[in-house]
Structure 1
């Protein structure tokens, strides 16, 4: 069994009580029995030697005093680490990448234990590797500094670390999002991470066994990293109040996140917001319909409780019936199961009443239920009273105006529910403009995608779409790629100033530098403008 105390500035500290992690499959098999065991362990009523094999590990909780120590150590380490050469800081990411490969299977197993279906846990691990691979490292190192020469001057535009970055990961994907902090460290910041009390073990393992050794191998100060399992609201309030905190990376829903971002600004902190997605996928009449249906079925992965899955499809009216038939077939093949099962893709949905509210509003407004809509047990059998899973559900909505007024389309739903909007027949050029307006007026903007076999349609789509942090064409909507961002977006996804999020850039700031030799200040002030062409030398790690 894994056991972690608080990790404060490079040392393990005892906690105040233990939070135990039980296998998610044990919860599915006997929910109330598993809860009794968990509470018994945490309250000292069940001896640890009687816990059994369903207990995966435990994490110690931290209090405000522990967090204060972590912040003080981080502030001291940030000054030292920010001054380290970029090459050494980028080495941390390279070492981390290698450690993810080494620990891949254990990392995947921990995510499965915390409830992630096996296939999706492997997808998350693949994202960690793509996000830290050689191509991505090279590109981002080049973004960190640019050097040119103008006569006796060396000119540089560089990015400088903000200082102390605090990271609060979401409950649905704690490990993958906590590990984005590796890029805040590469920028030269110190990092303090809150491991959520609802799922702390994977975060503790990942940062202790992957990031901490990577820092050590690169010669970083140990105090540059702290990881504590603590209360959410109390920790966020403490970060906001602390003069030592510079940036806060916050993951959550848009309503709370936008308000929290405003509070950050009022307290002098830089918010880096990762909020709701509500992505749109467009399928044009000349698309490969089999591949498009396969991509749309990603909407149901994790029961739609992944921010970057398609939340709405817009399908050309000429091929709508044919595509919906293929999508119905794919949706019906996606079944629940214990997270260890190799073919399981659905996760439990704890608030099915909200799903039925959204579904009811849509059907009462005229949407057609294509398939799905039932509660299922872990074996895929209908169970309208106790089923923890929801059947993948497809809606057909005729008209973009009707679609825009549905909650299933206007907001991220976090259910295995895909509304398919079918616009009215129109000239292709006119229709594409209408679809682009539909996407650009989406209040959210994580990523959008298109399926089309026409270069002209693809070019027009790329010219017209301003919404979103990532656009993908004829590709998996959720697949990770080297170089491209995995997070970030516009509107209610990233808040004011939101865009594609490379954390190494979002947790640093631009600074211009001029180093001159033999320059007379007076001559520099009153000299005529020099030539436009200067000797440029781009420098990368």
Structure 2
């Protein structure tokens, strides 16, 4: 097949144990900008090719960006058995060598940055959003990140004449199901997962597989070969998620399921993981708070709030609502509104565009109607438009929505604030009923804001804009939900070492926390190495025995049983000592 100007169309077979093998047909991916301008013709072209009904010339249509092979259920089983066989050998490779593999990926990604972002744009990410994803991927594998991993993975010291180690051991075979809204960035969590010593199976989502296939075929797999990873260390499938997840759950060759998706699906999958003995690593929904205090840098805070609209709000770690100090609410809202109204739709190649087609357009209208019915004021946005910004009932874009509400209790009842909203909609909450006239009156309002943020059932990211050291300290000390807290900084920007994903509550499930893949896909093991000298057992003779309180006059024993019969009640310490020495075998 050929692409634009006669170039070979990028074609990615199934990657089974690091080897490219045929699948059962193809998923074809047209360039996203062509779908915006020629929607029905391009989708018809894709359907014909995907279902084996191609017309002459279809397979060389220049509107195509690439194709990815669909994997079979048998290939999913084979990938698991290959991974199980390969993983012990890969884990025996020294940590420094595996970290060097991750570092080599970082260097390759930096060298091929232009190509990387071009694939993301072809897949539908605006240029600016693709640039953000590139920066996040580079920070995920940055030398500083690897240095932190090195220190966290192994610690060694001396205690009581012994060498003591705390070592994180790989979980084994990790199966990763990326997010549909950001498949490549979420799939790249697999690179440090490999660096930790695990074998990896990635399932590229058939609804948007191109970028995942591109990176794992052209970058990750060749690097693993270069670093002499055993065959089977990496596989990449492309199949619907549900049957693949069922295969992973049922297989004894799967140890971890690394899942990106909705909170309800994540909760169900967590229960299944525990039932089947798998470790669940859940990356679920986000409903992030951005807080603006009275002394904030308001223009910068407004820019951070504007990040809500990156990718039309279809990023889990974007801010979803803003809590604003009443003293600056009017000025901040005006600044943000002017920026929101200036956003425009367009093809992803346009460097000024951040908005993308909205998947949940009907739900966006429902949430907007709910907020207005409960007292929110609609400041702008909400109309459906086409790529030329013309109103259209079938338009794929939603003009960015900005709402304002002046009551915290009312806001807490709105879906726009209480739930994750996956569309370009931001609610500014400026509680007039708790207004404070001077900074001296702010302590109560600060308590209210802290309580509101911590009451959020989700917990991915939160951010604060303030200058007062007391306010900053209170937030950093007392905000307990969320995997990341940013202060006076971009809400969505990433940094080396700082986790990109991970959170609490509905964002991460019962095991949720900030997610450093090196740590989340390993387990801690303590090791003590002695010389075998007899004195190493001396501590048993000096073990402090438990001392039980003497019997209280007039009170019987608190626990029935033989130990409290008359011949024992006067010798509780002796009985306890005997019990302990019996347990120790001495």
Instruction: Specify the TM-score bucket, using the shorter chain as the normaliser.
Output: over 0.9
- Cα-to-partner distance string for 1:334-393 (whole Å, 9 max, x where unaligned): 11110111111001013321111100010011101111121122122333x122111111
Root mean square deviation of aligned Cα: 1.4
Residue equivalent to 1:187: 196
Q: Distance in 2 between matches of 1:115 and 1:39?
A: 18
- Give 1:372's match in structure 2, choosing from 378, 381, 389: 381
TM-score normalised according to structure 1 size: 0.96
How big is the shift at 1:151? 4.8
Q: 2:510 aligns to what SS in structure 1?
A: coil
Superposed, 1:497-512 pairs within 5 Å as 497-512=511-526
CA distance 1:364–1:222, change in 2 (3 Å):
same
Residue equivalent to 1:485: 499
Q: Are the counterparts in 1 of residues 360 and 423 from structure 2 also a CA contact under 8 Å?
A: no
- Cα-to-partner distance string for 1:42-88 (whole Å, 9 max, x where unaligned): 23332574431111111111111111111001001111111221111
Residue equivalent to 1:463: 477
Q: Are the counterparts in 2 of residues 335 and 346 from structure 1 also a CA contact under 8 Å?
A: yes
Residue equivalent to 2:23: 15
- Cα-to-partner distance string for 1:181-203 (whole Å, 9 max, x where unaligned): 01111111000000111111111
How big is the shift at 1:522? 7.2
- Give 1:399's match in structure 2, choosing from 397, 407, 420: 407
TM-score normalised according to structure 2 size: 0.88
Q: Distance in 2 between matches of 1:267 and 1:395?
A: 45
Q: 1:245 aligns to what SS in structure 2?
A: coil
Q: 1:338 aligns to what SS in structure 2?
A: coil
Residue equivalent to 1:434: 448
Q: Distance in 2 between matches of 1:200 and 1:376?
A: 27
Q: Are the counterparts in 2 of residues 25 and 338 from structure 1 also a CA contact under 8 Å?
A: yes
Q: Are the counterparts in 1 of residues 360 and 422 from structure 2 also a CA contact under 8 Å?
A: no
Q: Distance in 2 between matches of 1:519 and 1:502?
A: 40
Q: 1:514 aligns to what SS in structure 2?
A: strand
- Give 2:350's match in structure 1, choosing from 330, 341, 348: 341
Q: Distance in 2 between matches of 1:151 and 1:289?
A: 56
Q: Distance in 1 between matches of 2:154 and 2:543?
A: 25
Size of the aligned set, in residue pairs, is: 529
1:218 aligns with 2:227: yes
- Give 2:127's match in structure 1, choosing from 118, 129, 136: 118
How big is the shift at 1:281? 0.1
Q: Are the counterparts in 1 of residues 530 and 536 from structure 2 also a CA contact under 8 Å?
A: no
Larger-Rg structure: 2
Q: 2:238 aligns to what SS in structure 1?
A: strand
Q: Are the counterparts in 1 of residues 205 and 241 from structure 2 also a CA contact under 8 Å?
A: yes
How big is the shift at 1:419? 0.6
Superposed, 1:51-200 pairs within 5 Å as 51-200=60-209
Residue equivalent to 1:25: 33
Residue equivalent to 1:536: none
Q: Distance in 2 between matches of 1:212 and 1:520?
A: 51
Q: 1:100 aligns to what SS in structure 2?
A: helix
CA distance 1:425–1:528, change in 2 (3 Å):
same
Residue equivalent to 2:309: 300
How big is the shift at 1:102? 2.0
Q: 2:295 aligns to what SS in structure 1?
A: coil
Q: Distance in 1 between matches of 2:401 and 2:12?
A: 41
Residue equivalent to 1:535: none
How big is the shift at 1:525? 5.1
- Give 2:265's match in structure 1, choosing from 219, 241, 256: 256
How big is the shift at 1:399? 1.6
- Give 1:39's match in structure 2, choosing from 31, 38, 47: 47
CA distance 1:388–1:510, change in 2 (3 Å):
same
Q: Distance in 1 between matches of 2:537 and 2:183?
A: 57
Q: 1:414 aligns to what SS in structure 2?
A: coil
Residue equivalent to 1:515: 529
Q: Distance in 2 between matches of 1:527 and 1:4?
A: 66
- Give 1:473's match in structure 2, choosing from 472, 487, 491: 487
Q: Distance in 2 between matches of 1:63 and 1:525?
A: 59
Q: Distance in 1 between matches of 2:310 and 2:538?
A: 61
Q: Are the counterparts in 2 of residues 2 and 56 from structure 1 also a CA contact under 8 Å?
A: yes
Residue equivalent to 1:233: 242
User: Would you identify which runs of 4 or more consecutive aligned residues in structure 1 move more than 3 Å?
Assistant: 47-51, 527-530
- Cα-to-partner distance string for 1:139-174 (whole Å, 9 max, x where unaligned): 111100100013531100010000000000011101
CA distance 1:2–1:400, change in 2 (3 Å):
same
1:2 aligns with 2:10: yes
- Cα-to-partner distance string for 1:482-530 (whole Å, 9 max, x where unaligned): 1100000000000002100011101100100011113228724525479
Superposed, 1:350-389 pairs within 5 Å as 350-383=359-392, 385-389=393-397
Q: Give unmatched runs, 5+ long, in structure 2.
A: 1-8, 545-586
Q: Distance in 1 between matches of 2:206 and 2:536?
A: 61
Single out whichever of 282-291 and 45-54 deviates more from structure 2: 45-54
Q: Are the counterparts in 2 of residues 19 and 59 from structure 1 also a CA contact under 8 Å?
A: yes
- Give 1:278's match in structure 2, choosing from 276, 287, 302: 287
Q: Distance in 2 between matches of 1:524 and 1:389?
A: 74
Q: Distance in 2 between matches of 1:103 and 1:527?
A: 63
Q: Distance in 1 between matches of 2:408 and 2:76?
A: 49
- Give 1:416's match in structure 2, choosing from 420, 424, 441: 424
